[in-house]
Structure 1
């Protein structure tokens, strides 16, 4: 009787243990295993605002996404049902992550959507595979079971990582720096080309044409819009400057002495021009002036500016020219005030 009672008690205990295990399994089992951490039947995480606060507090820190395991049931304590394995430690997660880095999982596109990770949230599985968080949730929701999309391993653990975000930021920074260096180099090269004359003849001609065009454009840009008035102002300025210099030159002219006339004659001989600039006919050579007939009507006139003219030609020019207010004539060639002497 005692043996039967013990057997019946053991059977009752086993039945109660199995019933408790099945009941607690149904209560703890998530209706959708897509995201067990956020779909736990707890009041805290049913509130979406609490969920957002938890994600903001995590920041860039890595954390385990799976919920804490349920307490062991009576059947698991009695050994009637296999108990769940222990949670992975931090050292084990470090080893799994190093294996994922060696396989360059974060540098490759997501195996589900085949797109780059970028800044989107990514999860690392305990089998060292990496996926988009939303892609893993969609795969689990579609398949109806919790298995890795790559190796089909079941009952895995998940951990939120940010390796792909770090790589994406590094690539963006590298690209920005490359674009900036290229811009600086191109700007420097354009400045060098503007300032350095090329050796090729055709390019050199284009270089000087461009420089001349730039100067003309800048000149026109800063000038008055009325070009006719601007040019007339230039003419008036030049004429007034010429009159001032002529007046100063005439005031400084003095009567040459005999030595000065000899020096002027030597200049004429050195120049060797024996034609009258007015009538373009031959003149009398000053070196042979002693033998010339001074009564000839084609006598030669020597000016203090060392120019020679026929006397009649110079007198006709003086009669034709309107002198300035001071009454001092100017040379037909160099426009300077002069004193004259017959030779």
Structure 2
């Protein structure tokens, strides 16, 4: 009987008031549903509601006391180290871990800002390199002669792209063999001292990706000069 109205009959039986009225309406007579005593007297009582309130208060008090005891015990475990050696070791390990976590959380580390600074630095460096690469320094004829001598010392007589012989300028042994018709293509000298057929290098430049022209062998930026036979 939580908070519903209840009636006490003169025969000492207790029912819900609504349930008793429904029973009387269904049977058509006034008799106790338990002992069948007729012509009983009724009285509204509130004992069930009072007991229900007491029961609820006891449950609330028990829950609150349990919560307070658990909080007290947790605080005791956090502050008082245990006497057992194994538990004592775990206690201090947990303390050190908590201190480390507090130190780490105290640092304000903004990773997004850090990565954005790295990206901006890389972009600035890339712009500087592009500007330096864009300013080509013209090579003098004396320097071209030195580069050509360095290329001759490498003793490379075939084009690295098509693997065919270069011009007699870099392949003098073939001048006396009578095969001068195979040197119809012009030879180009790069500033990195590598030699190619002019047509082969042009084809490589057309198929290369990017704005910068790089040597097919050493991948460095270059200036070029066509050699005269």
TM bin (shorter chain): 0.3 to 0.5
Scaled by the length of structure 2, the TM-score of the pair is 0.47
Considering only CA atoms, is the larger Rg found in Structure 1 or Structure 2?
1
TM-score (norm 1): 0.31
